[in-house]
Structure 1
């Protein structure tokens, strides 16, 4: 069915353009304005910021690959103790905010921390001059902490790719004289390279846009430069210039990843008669694989979570329950509105694509999804520029009609935060709704039209009931991502307004995470929900 619906067409294009305007506003603002502060930054610290950013991105990607690929291959092809539980447990570190893991590891490994105290007691050392211990608050330390929470991107995609590979390929390699390790290097790894490249690009973009971890570790990057330029120098133009540079870098990363696999085509898939029979490891290989996988899970998730729970229980009487409740309600409020709004965007653009059937109808959904590739700090600058222009327009109109000046109607309220969340996470909702809508057979639409249903009636009575689960998942994913979002919230929140994420970060920055351990535990458990959903979907797809 191909039906032109003026309402869906107009609404889809209008909303998609509104969602992409904050991104375009960054480039527009960066091309004008005063270059004095930006020139000063370029002449003094920008080289250091760029170097630190490059090291953070490259180091995090390398460490994430070293953590993600071996665990993915072991979980997909080998049988180790607790493997059934471990295959989803290795995904859980993605729910841990990096700055929380950074605080906990810093607390453990500092001179006054339990690790060094234990070493001094055992070895008899009395001062730092007697021994050397690595300093975690460095560039390598930041890379290590970020890789602990970002390697699941590579693990998930690589594991899915290894599970989809036909077992006959590895069997053929073994028959030709390859050892299991040689079969991995020559067959499995090259076939998984596209998935690994996608995961590595996601890790790179997350590392590039990270603010909480690098800020806590006092490592100056381009992201912290955007934050400091806006809040420190109050110069939106210079912040826009830095943001534009980062957007160009992100575009290069995405383009390079796609260009690297432009000619790759994979046709071998695992079918029901081609089940993977997992290798039963023995001896030292079994011990090494088990220790590596369980050790990584413990280091990245289990141990930090236990420490958070200990903090929460130990400092429960010192924590402010009133603040916790208030900030939880704030997070629920803005995240709930953002989830509903993002679902509305997803339904409009997907129904327009479904009703139209033309190739151009896919453009609004693609445009509306662009914000998901933009780090929160950069997107916050674009939203701020866009809404500030809107505030000026509202005040000019009000003045023209002698209504006074209403002030910051858009940029100084929760509307700015909600707008940033919708722009950033609409792509998540669009993907979820699109996936559900694709499972609805076109014959059902034709049958509804044959029975006299209009387009709107067909959507209400046929399509919406069938994609209800996808809509609920879309809302849930956007809600949870908005609850955890720190970068945009910390720049766009109104005065005296805190969310759980900003509340926890403020205490972590002041070396008092213990007092905010209870909301930190809540953030972690909230972040587990989409990971469990994704992993269950992966298991069903390869059952």
Structure 2
């Protein structure tokens, strides 16, 4: 018996070590930021408090509130319409409403700035029709806090839309029909029954959108808005003050972790709603007259302004730029982007597999805690992760180089920070939650008895994972890798801070051209990023489509 236990412990050891190492790496940037902020000079923090800290705080809070309200209104209303009602084009809107998710917010900002700015098509046509001069009229400024909030809301409302739609799809008809039998109309039943039942999922989606808002760098930096994200970058590069950057990063980290805790609480509350033993879907309401027209307009507006129009604008700008996507220069950018996305996705997937599989085979407080710690990075902005990883690894690189010079008279250079190694680590920390959630969803479909049978056949954990679980999890593994691949392609702040010299990506190139006001040129790499981002959106929508009323694979019974 003791020999069997010893063999089991030995067999599980590589799995546990891999899972704990991955979780420790996800925690490292947060610890490094806290230490760097505590050991940095307080003079910088005092200077920031006297000058820009209040502005950073107020602007960030203003963006958060605006994005939260807009994403909640757009996401909830459209989700309820496509789930609970029937009107012309509803099947198309089910997928189309999620397509703006493929756009990075900074790409949306580039497109609309070129369209709405003073030399853009809208104001040029306005002056041509009215004969007004540049100072004869007022036009909303797109490069403002409100403009940035609209750009962010247009690409982030799918968080709320997808989660709210899932909640509405899982809603039983019992409570809804009871409300209707008591004299409530469709709107009253929605307000009194559907909305309260879906509130945890809606709040979770809004919190995810808010976390992405505080992490955004590309949009706010291009619009000239000073937030914590831009302040970190300015302190690190423009002022060469790593202590000040770490202190700003710590402030943002604390707030991001607070939002992550709220999101976790909301997710836990979402599990408490139960439809009962007998589950029947709410019969969809067929809209007529003005109601049908209003539904088409309400669902069509986010698709038009969040996907169709910016896509047309980018295509037009790209054609006018006369840039060749297949030139050696752009092929180099594309190669760098694919290399980073591929390596980052593979490394993140392997680490997520170790964490998820260790939690399944060795359920304990330690394995559960490691899975929770690994998810922290999703709520932390890329700039914070970049600062948190550069501080310890830059110190290690300098120490190794100094030792090599002292002992052997040679320079080792920058082993970690001079290559893509630390950048791939940053991607792993940032997007571990996306891969882990997808894999855990797949693992729940595999019965525990499968593990027992594999063990009775003499399979240790690693061979069991390779020969039994991974073949079953192939769709989940592919989806997780694709989602992380696309997230890395879109990621800007960490890439901008940590990329090696002369190792630019499509996202960095788009940001650089836009910063130089060469928006037509920025459209070319932006289009490639959007094209790649459409793939996981379609996969998610296809998965949700299987849950709609009448789908055989999702019928519930006792």
**Counterparts of 1:202 and 1:212, CA distance in 2:** 18
Is the CA contact 1:312–1:514 (under 8 Å) kept in the aligned structure 2? yes
Is the CA contact 2:386–2:494 (under 8 Å) kept in the aligned structure 1? yes
1:529 aligns with: 535
* 1:111 positional shift: 2.4
**Counterparts of 1:100 and 1:491, CA distance in 2:** 19
> Cα distance 1:371–1:209, how it changes in 2: closer, same or farther (>3 A)?
same
Is the CA contact 1:417–1:493 (under 8 Å) kept in the aligned structure 2? yes
2:19 aligns with: 12
Matched, 1:464 2:473: no
> Cα distance 1:317–1:276, how it changes in 2: closer, same or farther (>3 A)?
same
**What secondary structure, in the 3-state scheme, does the structure 2 residue paired with 1:31 have?**
helix
Q: Which runs of 5+ in 1 are unaligned?
A: none
**What secondary structure, in the 3-state scheme, does the structure 1 residue paired with 2:219 have?**
helix
Write out aligned runs for 1:49-448 (5 A): 49-122=56-129, 124-258=130-264, 266-269=272-275, 274-317=280-323, 321-448=327-454
* 1:451 positional shift: 2.6
**Counterparts of 1:267 and 1:260, CA distance in 2:** 12
* Deviation larger for 164-173 or 189-198: 164-173
> Cα distance 1:129–1:500, how it changes in 2: closer, same or farther (>3 A)?
closer
Q: What RMSD over aligned residues (CA atoms) do the two structures have, in Å?
A: 2.2
* 1:270 positional shift: 8.8
2:50 aligns with: 43
Is the CA contact 1:387–1:410 (under 8 Å) kept in the aligned structure 2? yes
> Cα distance 1:477–1:259, how it changes in 2: closer, same or farther (>3 A)?
closer
**What secondary structure, in the 3-state scheme, does the structure 2 residue paired with 1:496 have?**
coil
Is the CA contact 1:338–1:479 (under 8 Å) kept in the aligned structure 2? yes
Is the CA contact 2:170–2:281 (under 8 Å) kept in the aligned structure 1? no
1:511 aligns with: 517
* TM-score, normalised via structure 2 length: 0.92
**Counterparts of 2:95 and 2:445, CA distance in 1:** 26
* 1:34 positional shift: 1.5
* 1:244 positional shift: 0.5
**Counterparts of 2:467 and 2:265, CA distance in 1:** 43
**Counterparts of 2:18 and 2:121, CA distance in 1:** 58
What are the Cα deviations for residues 380-402 of structure 1, in whole angstroms up to 9, with x where unaligned? Answer: 11111121122133224424532
* 1:320 positional shift: 7.2
* 1:273 positional shift: 6.0
Q: Which runs of 5+ in 2 are unaligned?
A: 552-558
* 1:331 positional shift: 0.9
**Counterparts of 2:268 and 2:345, CA distance in 1:** 35
**What secondary structure, in the 3-state scheme, does the structure 1 residue paired with 2:301 have?**
helix
Is the CA contact 1:125–1:131 (under 8 Å) kept in the aligned structure 2? no
Is the CA contact 1:374–1:424 (under 8 Å) kept in the aligned structure 2? yes
**Counterparts of 2:220 and 2:73, CA distance in 1:** 21
> Cα distance 1:74–1:393, how it changes in 2: closer, same or farther (>3 A)?
same
* 1:459 positional shift: 2.6
**What secondary structure, in the 3-state scheme, does the structure 2 residue paired with 1:162 have?**
helix
Matched, 1:27 2:34: yes
* 1:101 positional shift: 1.3
2:554 aligns with: none
**Counterparts of 2:465 and 2:118, CA distance in 1:** 63
**Counterparts of 2:454 and 2:259, CA distance in 1:** 45
> Cα distance 1:149–1:274, how it changes in 2: closer, same or farther (>3 A)?
same
**Counterparts of 1:432 and 1:34, CA distance in 2:** 42
> Cα distance 1:265–1:481, how it changes in 2: closer, same or farther (>3 A)?
closer
> Cα distance 1:267–1:414, how it changes in 2: closer, same or farther (>3 A)?
closer
What are the Cα deviations for residues 192-233 of structure 1, in whole angstroms up to 9, with x where unaligned? Answer: 110111011111111111111111111111110000000011
> Cα distance 1:518–1:110, how it changes in 2: closer, same or farther (>3 A)?
closer
2:556 aligns with: none
Is the CA contact 1:165–1:270 (under 8 Å) kept in the aligned structure 2? no
**Counterparts of 1:205 and 1:449, CA distance in 2:** 42
Is the CA contact 2:204–2:267 (under 8 Å) kept in the aligned structure 1? no
Is the CA contact 2:344–2:425 (under 8 Å) kept in the aligned structure 1? yes
* 1:116 positional shift: 2.1
> Cα distance 1:214–1:9, how it changes in 2: closer, same or farther (>3 A)?
same
Aligned residues: 542
> Cα distance 1:419–1:135, how it changes in 2: closer, same or farther (>3 A)?
same
**Counterparts of 1:264 and 1:502, CA distance in 2:** 38
Is the CA contact 1:164–1:270 (under 8 Å) kept in the aligned structure 2? no
**What secondary structure, in the 3-state scheme, does the structure 2 residue paired with 1:401 have?**
helix
**What secondary structure, in the 3-state scheme, does the structure 2 residue paired with 1:275 have?**
coil
Is the CA contact 2:204–2:263 (under 8 Å) kept in the aligned structure 1? yes
**Counterparts of 1:260 and 1:410, CA distance in 2:** 38
